[in-house]
Structure 1
Amino acid sequence: MMNIRRAKPSDKDFVLDFCMNTFEWGDYVYRVWDRWISDPSGLLLVYDSSNFPSTSKSIPLGIIHIVKCLGDILWLEGLRVNKIHRNKGIATALLKYSLNYGINNGIKESSALVSTNNFPSQKMLEKLGFSKFLEYRYYNINLKKYRDDCNVSIKPDLVFSKKLDIKISQFRDIFSIQEYLSNPEISKFCVSKYFDSWRLYDLNTSLSSLSSFVRNKELLIIVNDIDEIVGIAIVKPSGKISFNGMPMIQISYLNCLNLSIFVRVIHLLLMNYCDVNLFNNAHFLLPVFAELEKILSTKSIENSDRFFLYSKFLDTTSNLSSILPANLQ
């Protein structure tokens, strides 16, 4: 019988041992393990080696973290399999098990981010009925290197435009923000979703939702010289997350009604956080048309990637396998 169970603290060293070099730059599982295993809104699952008679003891061979996000979406992340046990159906088993958990709990949709270069994962998700919906660009910007480059090579009139300013939104701005976001031109260039710690959420423009962003000082407005809103950004400071132990700011959503000002807005955002000098890195998650390589030096871009958003509507009348996650209740 398949043995998929909740992760235990004693699994940590075994898991981190095969989650060291998943990507060219390493992996992030070691930074989130403690949070994932104690998160009451999610489940950290392991595929146990007891399914393999040749193994002498019960140890994890694969993991996946699942969490129910706002909007009733089952978010899948952190799927890893020990490389010496790959191509044995472990990843597929973990995915099916997770989807059944969602079905059994009445969740209507499941989503995941996959690198555009990760063809095996794309093929596996598509085989399970997932569809590719959106594409995003990710950039990790070293703010010190950016600041040094600006001092040498960036023209002041490009960075410090007198016609644009970035402000932390106030409650009195909410109606204007709602009006701006309701403009049909916005949907041509920007998707109404934002990131938070690598999970994608629908951008709810209700009074209560926007008020929460304003209250947390996460909603920025870009205004012109007559104080009209020409862009919106959502930022997430690293109160809960960091990059290689260094504090960072995550630019989780960005739109500009006039794409001609996009370059200046990017520089204004970066200079804003360079001046604050509280963050080592800025992470951007942007629409696919954004190509920061064309406007920033290669020195300041420490790494970048492109991701697909995969989604699947869950059929609550059927199961993907006979294995039900009852032992997780």
Structure 2
Amino acid sequence: MIRVAKNKDKIKILNFCKNTFSWGDYIEYVWDFWLSEDYLFVFDKKSPVGICHAFYSKDQVWIEGIRIDPNFRRQKIASKLVMHAESIGQKKNASFSHMLIDTQNSSSIEMAQSLNYEIFQTWNFYSLLPRINLNHKIKYAESICPKFFTHYVKSWRWLPIDDSTLSQLCENKKIIQSSGFDTDSIAIFTDSEHFDNTLIVTLFPGSKNSVLEIFSFLQNYAIKKKYERIQILTKDLLPTFDSLEHKLSFYLMKKSLINLN
């Protein structure tokens, strides 16, 4: 009943995804990417009634895009799709599985907890408008100690951070830090692989003033590089800043895949 998605499934699946949220859904924009990445799973009952995508990286399974046809909910289809993704992760020797759930989505939280996922961290999503802003003291980081960070966000996937990842990000000038404050702020930024002209920022705030310096840099950087939107993900609540808007809060859910059998 669970199989790999085919391109001919697209129309049927998008039909039951279009009203997922009050504003619609994003599946239509990522479908082709997920199909090309493989591991886009379909629950089939003579026609597709559920989907789930999994992304496997290093020691982790990232589970995303769980969608169930409203006519087939409460049949544990989502749970079966997640367990299928986990089983492949175990074969790839992944130790952990993660997923992101809106803190207000009680049914998805309940589903995840029934599969022994726990709330690992709470993250906040902010948007920031690009603007010309030269008022900042920011430098590109040359080296960062990984012990203070567990994950960074790339295309809305929380990926594990280690020494080699940080070294590569520093080399590519993707990590910035404030300079001259008692507690500096650090930000990792990447291009969205699925949405055009979108800068995705993982922010690790220090002092309030150092965070404001980061905001100013990001606004100006986005103007220079012609980004249309800045998306900031952070575990902290951020200080007030012109055009900064808090959108949603999410739970980063975590499950150990070791010794499941």
In the superposition, the TM-score normalised over structure 2's length comes to: 0.89
Could you tell me which residue of structure 2 aligns to residue 154 of structure 1?
none
SS in 2 for 1:18: helix
SS in 1 for 2:17: coil
Could you tell me which residue of structure 2 aligns to residue 241 of structure 1?
194
Q: Does 1:112 align with 2:70?
A: no
Q: Retained in 1: the 8 A contact 2:152–2:159?
A: yes
Residues 131-150 of structure 1 correspond to what in structure 2 (within 5 A)? Answer: 131-143=118-130, 147=131
Q: Retained in 1: the 8 A contact 2:153–2:159?
A: yes
Deviation of 1:91 after TM superposition, in Å, equals 1.2
Q: Distance in 2 between matches of 1:280 and 1:256?
A: 23
SS in 1 for 2:116: coil
Could you tell me which residue of structure 2 aligns to residue 311 of structure 1?
254
Match for residue 241 of structure 2 among 284, 292, 295: 295
Q: Does 1:254 align with 2:221?
A: no
Q: Does 1:45 align with 2:41?
A: yes
Could you tell me which residue of structure 2 aligns to residue 32 of structure 1?
30
Q: Distance in 2 between matches of 1:78 and 1:12?
A: 14
Inter-CA distance 229–305: structure 2 relative to 1 (3 Å threshold): closer
Q: Does 1:165 align with 2:127?
A: no
SS in 1 for 2:184: strand
What number of residue pairs does the alignment pair up?
Answer: 261
More helix by share: 1
Identity within the alignment, % = 29
Q: Retained in 2: the 8 A contact 1:104–1:316?
A: no
Could you tell me which residue of structure 2 aligns to residue 230 of structure 1?
184
* Structure 1 segments unaligned to the other structure (5+ residues): 50-57, 151-158, 319-329
Q: Distance in 2 between matches of 1:129 and 1:210?
A: 30
SS in 1 for 2:39: strand
Q: Retained in 2: the 8 A contact 1:221–1:229?
A: no
Inter-CA distance 254–64: structure 2 relative to 1 (3 Å threshold): same
Residues 207-218 of structure 1 correspond to what in structure 2 (within 5 A)? Answer: 208-218=164-174
Q: Distance in 2 between matches of 1:5 and 1:275?
A: 43
Deviation of 1:296 after TM superposition, in Å, equals 3.5
Inter-CA distance 281–103: structure 2 relative to 1 (3 Å threshold): same
RMSD: 2.5
- Per-residue CA distance 1:187-237 (angstroms, 9 max, x = gap): 4xxx43211111112222x3x433311333312232239xx9933211112
Deviation of 1:317 after TM superposition, in Å, equals 5.3
AA of the residue aligned to 2:238: E
AA of the residue aligned to 1:235: F
Could you tell me which residue of structure 1 aligns to residue 154 of structure 2?
196
Inter-CA distance 271–99: structure 2 relative to 1 (3 Å threshold): closer
Q: Distance in 2 between matches of 1:291 and 1:231?
A: 12
Could you tell me which residue of structure 2 aligns to residue 64 of structure 1?
52
- Per-residue CA distance 1:80-131 (angstroms, 9 max, x = gap): 0011211122112212222222234432211101000110010011111111
AA of the residue aligned to 1:140: S
- Per-residue CA distance 1:41-87 (angstroms, 9 max, x = gap): x40000001xxxxxxxx3210000012123x1111100000112111
Inter-CA distance 142–275: structure 2 relative to 1 (3 Å threshold): closer
* Structure 2 segments unaligned to the other structure (5+ residues): none
Q: Retained in 2: the 8 A contact 1:166–1:268?
A: no
Inter-CA distance 295–105: structure 2 relative to 1 (3 Å threshold): same
Q: Distance in 1 between matches of 2:95 and 2:258?
A: 7
Inter-CA distance 214–105: structure 2 relative to 1 (3 Å threshold): closer
Q: Retained in 1: the 8 A contact 2:185–2:211?
A: no
For the pair shown, the structure with the greater C-alpha radius of gyration is: 1
Q: Does 1:283 align with 2:231?
A: yes
Q: Distance in 1 between matches of 2:35 and 2:7?
A: 8
AA of the residue aligned to 2:255: K
Q: Distance in 1 between matches of 2:210 and 2:104?
A: 27
SS in 1 for 2:185: strand
Could you tell me which residue of structure 2 aligns to residue 323 of structure 1?
none
Q: Distance in 2 between matches of 1:160 and 1:278?
A: 16
Q: Retained in 2: the 8 A contact 1:64–1:94?
A: yes
Q: Distance in 2 between matches of 1:63 and 1:129?
A: 20
Could you tell me which residue of structure 2 aligns to residue 156 of structure 1?
none
